[in-house]
Each structure stands twice: as C-alpha cells, then as structure tokens.
Chains A and B, each alone.
Chain A
Amino acid sequence: MFSYFSRVWAARYFWVHLALADLRSRWRRSFFGVTWSIIQPLGMTVLLTLVFSKLFNTDVLTYAPYVLSGIVVWEFISANTIGGSLSFVQADAYIKQCNHPLAIYTLRTVLGSSIVLMLASVSLYLWVAIMMPQNFGWSWLATLTIFPVVALIAWPVSTLLSYISTRFRDVPHALGLVMQSLWFVSPVYFEAKMFQNGGLHALVDYNPIYHILQLFRAPLLQGEWPTLSNYAFSLGTALFFGLIAIYVGYKAERKVIFYL
C-alpha cells in the first residue's frame, strides 16, 4: 500500500505534466484562453438566475451565487465521473508502454479539474465579496478546505469508475444518465429548502453533494462555518470510495492492460 503511493509520488512530474498539458490543449488558440473557465460558469449563472429567480420567486442577488457555486462544483463532479471514467481508456498508449501506477491517470483528471474549479471559484468569491460584504469573515477560510476535500473524493471515485469502464465500455454512456438523475435529486441549482419544504429531507441530509456544497455555501452565502456533519459526510464519502478503490485496484490493476 505505502509503496504504491510512493510510486505515485515518484511519477509526480509525469502526471502533473499530463494535467497541465490537458489544460493547455483545452485553451490553445482561444482568445480568452484560461478566462473561459471563469466566463463560462458566469454566463451560465446569468441565464439560469434570470429564469429561475422568476420561476421560484427568489432574490436574484442571493440566488445567483447559489447557482454559481452549484455550477462550478457540479462541473468538477461531472468532469471526474463522466470524464474521469475514461481516464484509463484515454491513457492506453501510456499504460501499454510504461509501468506507472494506474491511479496517476485519474489523478491527472482530478488535478486538471481542481485547477479549473479554483479558477471558476474566483468569480464566486468576487461576486459575494462585492454583493454580500456582510458575510465576509473568518469562516471564509473554511471554503479553502473544499478543494482538498473534493479531490479526496474525486480521486477514488474516478479510479473506481475507470476500472469498471475499462471492462464494461457501456458504463461511460450510462454514467451520463446516472449523473443527470443525481443532479436532479441534489440541491445543485434548486435550493435545499425546496427539497425540505417538499418533505424530501433525506435528499438533502444524506446527500454528500449537499454537504460538499455547504463547504462553499455556508461561509459565502450565510457567513457561517460549515457544520461538523458537513465534514463528516464529505470525508466519510472519501473514505468509503477510497477503501473500495484500493480493494478493486488491488484485485484488478494488473489485468487492465488486457482490456485496453
């Protein structure tokens, strides 16, 4: 176990390079380049807020950052599930040539999407700082914990999905559907109180996605610290998937090359 992670560490220059190369190729030759990661969620937020605030009768000023936080985190989640499940398949040329631990290829996705998440959150911080300055306080420090926490969840989840998708190539297609339904039952764009008012407490209380989002939303939107249960649920999810991923990796890692 320990030697596995030290091999991941030994290959760090390689997977960091791959992650940065992904980002470079994503923004290559575009005029706005990196700023697209900021513009895209912002534009989406404006559109959604205009429609939803009318529909749900909510205040635009507070609802917009709610949607924005949902968009940037959801973008990260889908990059690591739908996109992450293809990590091994896309890296097949490397896997067939170099004996690197396979977990570095999902780490590449996690790192790349984490950087995008950080960039995209800049506009969220700015929006809240300007529009809701009363929320500013020490609790904002807690928002920084979202980055390591989501990475700790995304790494095992995408690794696990990669193992399954390499063997069963239908999985990435099906995942689109699964994630769509997960989005639908999670307070990503819809406010948590809408679920609670509708008697769907469980969809909020036991939903790791809600708890992850609270790491952003509690400090920025309410000026409060995230609760202990927010952290417990998020880290519990990481541990749960971590253990499964380690077990599956232990059983299947060496056989992956036959399925590429």
Chain B
Amino acid sequence: MVSLSADRLSQRREGVDPSGAIFAVISVSLAILVLLPLFWLTYYSLSGPQGQFTFANFWTLFTDPTLRRPFVISIGMALGVGALSCIIATPLAWLVARTDMPGRSLIRALVTASFVTPPFLGAIAWEILAAPNSGIINQIYRSIFDLPPYETLVDIYTLEGLIFAISCYTFPLVFTLVANAFERVPGDLEDASAILGGTQAATLRRITWPLVLPAMIAGALIAILQALTMFGSPAILALPAGFHVITTKIWSLFQFPPKPGLAAAAAFPLLAITIVLLWAQSRILGRRGYAVIGGKSGPPRLTRLGGWRWAGFGFAVLVLSLTVILPYGALLKTAFTKSVSEPMSWSNLTLHNFRFVFFEFSATQLAMRNTFVLGFAAATVVTTIALAVAYLASRKSIRGAWALGYLATIPIAIPGIVLGVGLFLSYSTAPFMLYGTLWILLIAFVTIEMPAAYQQLSTALTGMNPELEEASRILGATRTDTLRRITAPILRTSVIATWCLVFIGTIRELSATILLTTANTKIVSVIIYDLNESGDLGAISVLGIVLLAVCFAVVFLANRLPGGGSRLTAAR
C-alpha cells in the first residue's frame, strides 16, 4: 500500500514516470530479439526452394539417415556428459562443502577456472594431450612401459573421449548447484538423525542425500543441455573420428550449396528437447522448497575424514589436473615449443608461435579488437537491460511487468547454433541487413546472455527488502533517483558479477558466432576454430593463452573492485 500511494504521489507531482516508457521500449526490443529469429526459422523450415509451402524439409529430416544418426549420437553423448559430470562433481562438491579436506577454497577457485575455460579450447588442449599417437599422455605411457608405437592408453577421438572432454567443462555447473545444496542442508536435521542413533553413513544416505539429489539432477540436466547444444568440442573431436553430432550437422548444411530450409528444420527438434529439459529442471528445482520446513537451522556439520582427508584431496587434485592443470600445461608447452610431439627441451624452445600470432598473422589484431569491443558492449547492454527488467518485474510497479521476466528468460531455450541460424536468416537480407557488421554479433550475444544475467540480478533484487526504496520514495526522491542512489549501490556486487559473467560468456561463445562472422567481423574464438581446421596448434595455443589471461584478469579485477563480484564463483 505504501508503495502504491508513493507511486501516485510522485506521479501527481512530476507528471510522467519514465518506467512506463522504459517498459515499452524493453518489451518491444526483447520481443524482436527473440521472436524475429524464431519466425524466420519457422518460415524457412516450411519453405521449399522456390519459397512455396512444404513439409519436405521435415520429411527429409526424418527419412535421411545422415540426418537421423547425428540426433541419436547427440542424445547419447549428452546423457553421457550428464552422468559423468555428476560422477565428477558430486563427490567433489561434498568434499569441498562438508568435509575438513585441506585446500578447499583453493579447489573451489580452480573449479571456477575450469568454468572460465572455453570448452573448444579445452577440447584442443585434450587433442594435444590424448591424441592416440602424438598425445603427450600416450607418449609418456609408452615410454614408461617401454611399449612399441601405436600402443595407446587413451584416445580422445572417440565418443567416450568427446564425452570426457565436454564433461571437463560442464561439471562446474553441477558442482556449484550441489555444493550449494550441501551447504544448505540444515545441520539440526542431521544432528537429529545422529542423536536417534543413525550412523554417519545412514545420515548421509537418508537425510543429506535426498535433500541434495534434486540439485544434482537439475545440474545434470543443465550439463546435458550444454552438451547437446555445444558446437566447438564435437567439431574438434567428433569429425576426426568420422561422425557428426546434430550441431556440426546443422553447421555443415550451410556449406555450399547451402540448405537453410533443412538447417532450420533440423533446429526444431533441438529446440523441443531443450524446452523439455528446462521444464524438467524447473519442476525439480521448484520442489526444492520441501527441504527446509520451519525454524532456523544451524550450519551444516563438517565431516571429519581423518586419514581419508588426503585421499579426498588426491581425488580433488586428480579432477583439477584433468580439467585445468594438464590442459593449461599442454597449451603452454605447445605455445613455447616447435613441435607438439617433442619433449620440452632448451633446443626445442621457441617464441616463433608468439611472433607469428602477434606480428605475422594478419587476422590477430582485428579479431582481438572485435572480441573486446563486443565483450564490453554485450556485457554493458545485457547488464543494463537485465537490471531494468529485473527491477520492473520484481517491484511489480507496472501492470504486466512479470511478462518481461519471461521474455528475458525465453532465449535460454534457444540453443546457440539454432539462434545463429535464426539470426542469419533474419539479418542477412533486407530490411534488416546486419550480417557483415558487429551488430549481428552483439544481438546474438545479448540474446544468449540475457537469461543468465536476468536470473542473477532478479535473485539479487528479490533478496533485497523494498522498504529501503519505499523510504526513499516517501522522502520525495523520484523512482530514477531511488534506483540510482539506493538500489544500485546495494546491488553493486551482483551487477559487477553479472557484467563479468556476460563478458566471459561472450568470449567463450562459438556455436552462434561461427555462422555469423565475416572476414571483417571475426572474433578470437572463430579464428581459433579456423586455425584448428588447418592444424596450426602452436598459434592456437598462443591465442588461447591470451584469451584465458584476459578472462582471468577480468575476474581478478572484478574481485578487487570495492564490493566487487565475490559471488562470481557461484555464477550459473
């Protein structure tokens, strides 16, 4: 009631409240962002070569085995990634959240590092490590056991290898959710179980586990979704093994002669699966509420592992070696040596790759500039819009504001490659000719990053008591003033964290970008992918290291800002 009367008061006094106009502008732009690509996808999928209405594209999709097979493989691969992510993440999350294992905060920080790593870069690093013959791991294996050539310990160019390489960079999603769930388990419930004579194992099984399970399943669904819609890693690892997944297949449909209708049709099953998975995830997370009923609970108890502490630590080190330490080491070694397969030695050491990337390779400078321009622009635009939407939606000061929240969340259901196809179809012809400019990439990034940014900021706003703002309004401040002087400073941490999240997300993006760049609008992820197609691993390693260094610098700086983004670790 207070806020309502304050509203009236202010309107009476200054005439117009800008939130109405902002609301209109934002809802129209969000609708265009989301609906235009979907419209063109539908249109092309139902059009024949002469533009006539037809179901031929969908018919081909179901009858052509070279199109059906990638779907089956993709689903198998994604389920594998979901399972493996849980197997890696759940024990690690328990160790970090609920035991006295040494080095827990460092381990958490390193899990963040594997989140920041672009998956395609991880896949390339794993090629260097685990290619069957030249891979560093296989070479060491052969030399330790004195085995003949072609004896192989691991082969990354297989479906299993692909599942592993993707899981290395999706498990942080499960880890974050599960670790948070472990921390939220009320200590007194577990105490009660212990007092009633339950052993530690029984408590874990009957109290803790049921409370954590939904988080794990929700995390697994997100990991599955990521794997299903990922382009880079499968393109790098599956094509050499001689199979397509659905994203690489859709992309190959753009090769000459392009089949945009078929590509659009192939996007729909992917869209449908995504929506089902997200629906399942929200159902599972939505039921989480039953966990904590009534009263305030004590903090969760840490399990004392005794001698097992070091076993747990060993497990954590193993996981982080596979996801961060070895891949980064492989990139560093490749960047500084002449040949990938030779061991490190003084005679093999070279700065040639750095010289090539920075002084000879003419694409570097432009791509770096484009990447940072886009990263900064996308992060700023997304954070601004998401903040406005979250504010309008959570404060419910305008009728229909809740719908904005939904609009901002829809893109989460559109896989990157599908969005890429949709945007290409929307903006490569008149009247909206944006292909060939950075604008189309900015639109892609804004659309892709909006849901996560909105969720992050809306969680922060929901947790903030509106009384503070109401006090400001009652004291005569306008809504805009209040937003600037009360709401914004309190939200600062979340805003900075969101900005970083979007910036890093932009730098990691490849699935949509791969279809949308031209010679003058290339970004670093795309030139890394181009170089991979011609096998120039040295140059890739240098560019990858630069990319990672920038990402970590951004995270570091954000953490150093006063009230900076300390919550980034828990992001997404």
Q: Do A and B come from one complex?
A: no
Seen from chain A, the residues whose Cβ lies within 8 Å of a Cβ on chain B are: none
Seen from chain B, the residues whose Cβ lies within 8 Å of a Cβ on chain A are: none
